[in-house]
Amino acid sequence: MARKSATGRIGIADVALKAGVSHATVSRVMNGNFTVDPDIAARVRAAAVELKYQPNPVGRSLALGKTDTIGIVVPDLANPTFQAILRGLSRAAAQDGYRVLIADSFEVSSEEAILAGEARRRCDGLVLCAPRMGDAELAEIAPSLHPLVLINRTTAAPGVPSLVVDYGLGVQALAEHLVELGHTRLAFLAGPAGSASNGLRLEGLAVFKASHAHVDVTMLDGGSDFDTGHEAVDAVLASGATGILAFNDLVAMGLMSGLHERGVNVPADISVTGFDDIPFARYTTPTLTTAAVPIAELGAQAWHQLRALIRQEGTETPGVRYQPRLEIRSSSGSAPVSPAP
Amino acid sequence: MARKSATGRIGIADVALKAGVSHATVSRVMNGNFTVDPDIAARVRAAAVELKYQPNPVGRSLALGKTDTIGIVVPDLANPTFQAILRGLSRAAAQDGYRVLIADSFEVSSEEAILAGEARRRCDGLVLCAPRMGDAELAEIAPSLHPLVLINRTTAAPGVPSLVVDYGLGVQALAEHLVELGHTRLAFLAGPAGSASNGLRLEGLAVFKASHAHVDVTMLDGGSDFDTGHEAVDAVLASGATGILAFNDLVAMGLMSGLHERGVNVPADISVTGFDDIPFARYTTPTLTTAAVPIAELGAQAWHQLRALIRQEGTETPGVRYQPRLEIRSSSGSAPVSPAP
DNA sequence: TTGAAAGCGCTAACAT
DNA sequence: ATGTTAGCGCTTTCAA
């Protein structure tokens, strides 16, 4: 048989032997180098087909110094937001012939730096998605990770484009919307303490409060998943608020489910808003008012920025800032005449 | 500076130079080979730390003939089922120091074989998730993909473990459940035509029908997402069925949303069941009766089977068959006395 | 115990 | 137009 190499797979040498040419010529043919005699090229191609030869990407990567692979580090693969980003990234990168290596840090921020470094070494570039590590650490490792693109996080380190969603603006729009509906007592169901996007929401709320002295905004501890919302029902009811700004759509859905169980009517008794506009938001009962984030586009954009960096296109790309779009559906309505039960 | 190599990164040669030893010795130290003099080892380690040396995985892969990476090919990264499998796989593989490369075929079955081959060549093993390609093609390429694990698909090719969920049994249990509630007119909202799991459901329904001659089961065309369910409202109502078996939870949610808009009460007028028990199923209104699939475990199990293959542990692993568990919630109830509106 | 050297599979500069 | 040769960065025999 034609299996010569140590790995047992068919290598360039086998094809060269079969076609009666040198490795170099085979390599040239495989890479579409036209300085090869058509007859010989045909012979090589025939041999390659017959042997079912497929170039070994590892050897190729070592020789070329590139892997045609990019890495992405996410805090939690279970989070729909990160899933959507991954999808957008994967799709866009695939269009340019790049593959995606994933690294899930499982919210263990101390692992992120190591994970990122390891991923980066196997890839041509890296996307760091909402990293939980501290600013100092991020700035310190950023240079060693170049080409690097940040999502929902910025850094002082130079040459690192950031794609950030303006959660502050989004939460302001939602609060504004509730106020226009007559609500004067709001509550914010916060997200994970370490999350930068939660910080942005808090900043947005501070701005909102400064210009709406007559509106009462209660702060409630929370998280980022269904259960958070579901478990927050008591706290929400105790707050006396009639307009609830949930950290995200998942929390909002959990909350609505809990309120439903208590017989509280949404939006007649209490209005609930989410954030992100995940696909499910259109199909909840009632449908969810939320702030839409062009999340899949974020993934695609991350690839485009990374690609520019990899190709060393000197176009200074400071990143992109995305503004959420208010998506009014049925979970928000006029404030009840009497306070909520 | 210590940057010598062509790639601009610090290589083993830099460390060797700095420590005053050969590449070989550095390699030995980095790999914990104890045949190195402790003093020299310490010197090497110090040099490595000082230069922030990190071995290049590509060079390592080429020398060792392994990448410590596995690949997974999915038909659609947007599908929660595949996301969950990916997560379980990624988590389990990470525990053993393996990374995951993803390849999304975007439901283009003609691309699957190429995608799978490319992914496999960069990895030590492959997981093919519910491949849409034909049986013949699958059996033909399977040997070249070894080590290979199949999810929700089987093949005649030997040495390929399959993890399959028994969708047939699940749909039978759901239908049985509806019949026990008094429903005699059911409808099945089918999934994608090419999907093997849809085929299994159909087989299950055939078995069910054979033993329930008095029950009428209408077959309705469909798909696998929200919109499918939402758009099926008319067909569902026209069928006169009071118990609807949706292809999966997403379709069920879309359908319930559509029914709600039409003023049809679930489950008073019509009962709806899903499939998969995605996290959202607990939080729909009403909560969704479904068949639970231990989906994250499937991903983990895929890794364990793949690991055994990679390690060439001769333990014949013919795969695992998972039986869905009936999860009765609020979207299914007694059949209405009079036919649905 | 260490170094020199071969080789993993490929690409590319150089030579012919 | 093609072959020879030298790497890419690493591991691993084989000598010493």
| Position A34 in a domain | yes
| CB-contacted nucleotides of strand C (7 Å) | 1-13
Taking CB atoms and an 8 Å cutoff, what residues of chain B touch A144? 52
Q: Are residues A174 and A153 in the same domain?
A: no
Taking CB atoms and an 8 Å cutoff, what residues of chain B touch A280? 226, 253, 280
Whether residue A142 lies within 8 A of chain B, CB to CB, comes out as no
User: Residue A68 to residues A39, A73, A215, B117, B180: CA-CA distances in angstroms?
Assistant: 31, 17, 53, 15, 56
B148 sits in the region (left: phi over 0; alpha: psi -120 to 50; else beta) called beta
Taking the mean position of all CA atoms in its chain, how far away is CA B291? 17
The answer to whether B23 and B16 are in contact (CB under 8 A) is yes
Closest CA relative to residue B324, chosen from B176, B154, B190, B126: B176
Nearest by CB to A77, from B87, B122, B257: name it: B87
Nearest by CB to B104, from A90, A280, A283: name it: A90
How far is the C-alpha of A179 from the C-alpha of B67, rounded, in Å?
56
Question: B256 and A285 in contact by Cβ < 8 A?
Answer: yes
Boundary (domain end) residue, out of A36, A64, A92: A64
| Position B123 in a domain | yes
| Position B183 in a domain | yes
Q: Are residues A187 and A206 in the same domain?
A: yes
Question: Which pLDDT band, with edges at 50, 70 and 90, does B340 fall under?
Answer: very low
Nearest by CB to A102, from B100, B254, B279: name it: B100
Nearest by CB to B285, from A104, A260, A282: name it: A260
Q: Are residues A74 and A188 in the same domain?
A: no
How far is the C-alpha of B62 from the C-alpha of B52, rounded, in Å?
22
Helix or strand run (H / E) with residue B159: none
Please check the confidence at residue B242 and state whether its pLDDT lies above 90: yes
Whether residue A4 lies within 8 A of chain B, CB to CB, comes out as no
Q: Are residues A46 and A155 in the same domain?
A: no
Boundary (domain end) residue, out of A275, A293, A311: A293
Distance from CA of B81 to the nearest CA of A (A): 11
Q: Are residues B80 and B19 in the same domain?
A: no
Nucleotide D5's nearest residue (CA vs C1') is A24
Whether residue B104 lies within 8 A of chain A, CB to CB, comes out as yes
Closest CA relative to residue B43, chosen from B24, B27, B20: B20
Nucleotide D12's nearest residue (CA vs C1') is B24
Residue whose token pair is 């074989």 = B113
> CA A153, A158, A160, A161 torsion: positive or negative?
positive
The residue range of the domain holding B265 is 167-293
pLDDT of residue B271: 98
Distance from CA of B58 to the nearest CA of A (A): 6
Q: Are residues A193 and A262 in the same domain?
A: yes
Nucleotide C6's nearest residue (CA vs C1') is B63
Could you list the pLDDT tens digit for every one of the 341 residues in chain A? 344 455 678 999 999 999 999 999 999 999 988 889 999 999 999 999 999 999 999 999 999 999 999 999 999 998 888 999 999 999 999 999 999 999 999 889 899 999 999 999 999 999 999 998 999 999 999 999 999 999 999 999 999 999 999 999 999 999 999 999 999 999 999 998 878 899 999 999 999 999 999 999 999 999 988 999 999 999 999 999 999 999 999 999 999 999 999 999 999 999 999 999 998 899 888 999 999 999 989 999 999 999 999 998 777 777 899 999 999 999 999 999 864 44
pLDDT of residue A318: 77
The answer to whether B159 and B247 are in contact (CB under 8 A) is no
How far is the C-alpha of A266 from the C-alpha of A8, rounded, in Å?
65
Whether residue A99 lies within 8 A of chain B, CB to CB, comes out as yes
Using CA coordinates, name the residue in chain A closest to B229. Answer: A283
| Position B334 in a domain | no
pLDDT of residue B7: 66
Question: A283 and B56 in contact by Cβ < 8 A?
Answer: no
Among B residues 225-284, those touching chain A with beta carbons less than 8 Å apart: 226, 230, 253-254, 256-257, 260, 279-280, 282-284
Closest CA relative to residue B236, chosen from B262, B205, B206: B262
Question: Which pLDDT band, with edges at 50, 70 and 90, does B3 fall under?
Answer: very low
Report the domain count for chain B. 3
pLDDT of residue B1: 38
> CA B26, B32, B35, B40 torsion: positive or negative?
positive
| Position A2 in a domain | no
Nucleotide nearest B31, from its CA to each C1': D11
- What's the CATH number where B35 sits? 1.10.260.40
Nucleotide D11's nearest residue (CA vs C1') is B63
Question: B226 and A279 in contact by Cβ < 8 A?
Answer: yes
| Position A330 in a domain | no
Nearest by CB to B254, from A59, A67, A283: name it: A283
Please check the confidence at residue B338 and state whether its pLDDT lies above 70: no
Q: What is the pLDDT of residues A146-202, one digit of tens each?
A: 999 999 999 999 999 999 999 999 999 999 999 999 999 999 999 988 788 999 999
Both structure tokens of A251: 């929390």
Q: Are residues B118 and B199 in the same domain?
A: no
Nearest by CB to A58, from B62, B94, B104: name it: B62
Q: What is the pLDDT of residues B279-313, one digit of tens each?
A: 889 988 899 999 999 998 999 999 999 999 999 88
Whether residue B108 lies within 8 A of chain A, CB to CB, comes out as no
User: For the stretch A133-156, what's the b/e string if a residue is b when 16 or more beta carbons lie within 10 angstroms of its beta carbon?
Assistant: beeeebeebbebbebbbbbbbbbe
Using CA coordinates, name the residue in chain B closest to A105. Answer: B91
pLDDT of residue A338: 65
| Position A333 in a domain | no
Q: Are residues B221 and B200 in the same domain?
A: yes
Q: Are residues A172 and A161 in the same domain?
A: no
Q: Are residues A282 and A173 in the same domain?
A: yes
Q: What is the mean pLDDT of chain B?
A: 93
Whether residue B216 lies within 8 A of chain A, CB to CB, comes out as no
Taking CB atoms and an 8 Å cutoff, what residues of chain B touch A284? 257, 284-285
- What's the CATH number where A266 sits? 3.40.50.2300
| Position A6 in a domain | no
Taking CB atoms and an 8 Å cutoff, what residues of chain B touch A282? 226, 257
Q: Are residues B95 and B30 in the same domain?
A: no
How far is the C-alpha of A41 from the C-alpha of A30, rounded, in Å?
9
- The angle at the Cα of A96, spanning A101 to A112, to the nearest 5 degrees, equals 25
Among B residues 29-58, those touching chain A with beta carbons less than 8 Å apart: 52, 54, 56-58
Taking CB atoms and an 8 Å cutoff, what residues of chain A touch B65? 6-7
How many Cβ atoms sit within 10 Å of the Cβ of residue B270?
A: 26
Q: Are residues B44 and B191 in the same domain?
A: no
| CB-contacted nucleotides of strand D (7 Å) | 1-13
Both structure tokens of A14: 């086998």
